[in-house]
């Protein structure tokens, strides 16, 4: 999502990157919210890599993949073996899909988050120095209101909240990311970078990308391997006029992103009269000001 060499992103993603930079060395806990595949673990990893804890461990725990029978020992350890929380001492503990954690584990975790103490069987609690970054694919405020998540734990985890928007809310990023992932996959598999046909273009501009960045990356890989040209995707079932409209809007957004909202430069690149470009932007609800550098400053 923020790899080197990726073209400029939409303003919302530029602001997110700048916020991560600002937070990295501020030793506060962070709650990351976002749908599946939006890159929550990457954000957590960047918070670690850009912080003073970078030389210590980044310990990632997938809470959804931990069965209740072993989750307690895996996280908190036992008499003979330290758990994953202890492994993160002086580093960063990333708790992915924390909304899947059982109520009993939430209660034990609360003490760690609140006191930075790790209970030990038959011994005094162990003091741990760690940063906790939690991620959830659902709104934990709603879960807490419904009694599915401890409100007191939420209050301590959400010192700072970061929301990663899904791709459908930042469609101008789709062609930029796809181009990057296409080159990445071609290099990884030793293949020539393929030419993009109309079917692939139609899917890029019309798909909702429910799996977000992960789904887009997988699609680029399949295109490089020649096993998915996109022709059988739902985009081909759309009326031609809608396909054309979606492609046109995506092309205008991508061009405005490249030229930083300069309508004259965009008109020249798209080979359109300026008045015609303004008319098309109005029809698609595109505001050029959103792509200008002044919109890229942190909030």
Q: Write the CB contacts of 296 (distance below 8 Å, at least 6 apart in sequence).
A: 11, 14, 15
Chain segment 24-56, per-residue pLDDT in tens: 989 999 999 999 999 999 999 999 999 999 999
Taking each helix axis from N to C terminus, what angle separates 240-258 and 173-189, rounded to the nearest 10 degrees?
Answer: 80
- What is the number of other CB atoms lying within 10 angstroms of the CB of residue 234? 11
Q: Is 148 helix (H, G, I), strand (E, B) or coil?
A: coil
Task: Report the chain's mean pLDDT, rounded to a whole number.
Answer: 85
**What confidence category does residue 172 fall into, taking pLDDT thresholds of 50, 70 and 90?**
confident
**What confidence category does residue 286 fall into, taking pLDDT thresholds of 50, 70 and 90?**
confident
Q: Which two tokens stand for residue 111?
A: 């003490």
Chain segment 138-161, per-residue pLDDT in tens: 999 999 999 999 999 999 999 999
CA 255 to chain centre: 23
Asked if the model's pLDDT at residue 111 lies above 80, the reply is: yes
Domain positions in the chain:
11-165, 168-296
- What are the φ and ψ backbone dihedral angles of 83, each rounded to 5 degrees? -95, -175
- Give CA–CA dist 45/67, Å, rounded: 24
**Of 244 and 60, more confident:** 60
- Give CA–CA dist 220/181, Å, rounded: 6
The residue whose two tokens read 């419904």 is 146
- The CATH number assigned to the domain with range 11-165 reads 3.40.50.300
- Give CA–CA dist 91/68, Å, rounded: 25
Radius of gyration (C-alpha) of the chain in whole angstroms = 23
**Of 65 and 3, more confident:** 65
Q: Half-sphere exposure (CA, 13 Å, Cβ side) for 20? A: 24
Q: What is the DSSP letter of 292?
A: S
CB-based burial label for 113 (10 Å; 0-12, 13-18, 19+): buried
Q: What is the DSSP letter of 149?
A: S
């Amino acid at each position: 999502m923020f790899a080197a060499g990726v073209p400029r992103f939409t303003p919302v993603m530029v602001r997110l990157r700048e916020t991560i930079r600002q937070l990295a060395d501020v030793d506060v806990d962070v709650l990351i919210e976002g749908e599946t595949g939006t890159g929550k673990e990457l954000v957590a990893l960047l918070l670690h890599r850009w912080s003073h804890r970078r030389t210590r461990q980044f310990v990632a725990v997938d809470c959804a993949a931990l069965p209740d029978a072993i989750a307690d020992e895996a996280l908190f350890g036992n008499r003979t073996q330290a758990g994953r929380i202890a492994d993160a001492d002086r580093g960063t503990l990333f708790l992915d899909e924390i909304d899947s954690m059982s109520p009993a584990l939430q209660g034990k975790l609360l003490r760690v988050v609140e006191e930075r103490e790790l209970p030990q069987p038959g011994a005094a609690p162990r003091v741990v120095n760690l940063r906790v970054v939690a991620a959830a694919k659902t709104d934990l405020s709603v879960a807490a209101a419904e009694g599915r998540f401890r409100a007191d734990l939420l209050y301590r985890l959400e010192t700072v909240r970061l929301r990663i928007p899904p791709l459908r809310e930042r469609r101008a990023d789709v062609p930029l990311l796809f181009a990057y992932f296409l080159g990445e996959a071609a290099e990884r598999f030793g293949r020539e970078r393929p030419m993009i046909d109309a079917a692939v273009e139609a899917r890029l501009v019309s798909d909702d990308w429910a799996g977000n960045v992960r789904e887009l990356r997988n699609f680029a890989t399949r295109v490089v391997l020649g096993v998915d040209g996109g022709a059988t995707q739902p985009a081909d079932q759309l009326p031609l006029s809608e396909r054309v409209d979606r492609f046109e809007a995506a092309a205008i957004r991508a061009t405005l992103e490249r030229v930083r909202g300069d309508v004259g430069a965009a008109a020249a690149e798209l080979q359109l009269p300026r008045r015609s470009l303004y008319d098309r932007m109005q029809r698609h609800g595109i505001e050029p000001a959103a792509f200008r550098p002044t919109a890229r400053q942190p909030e």
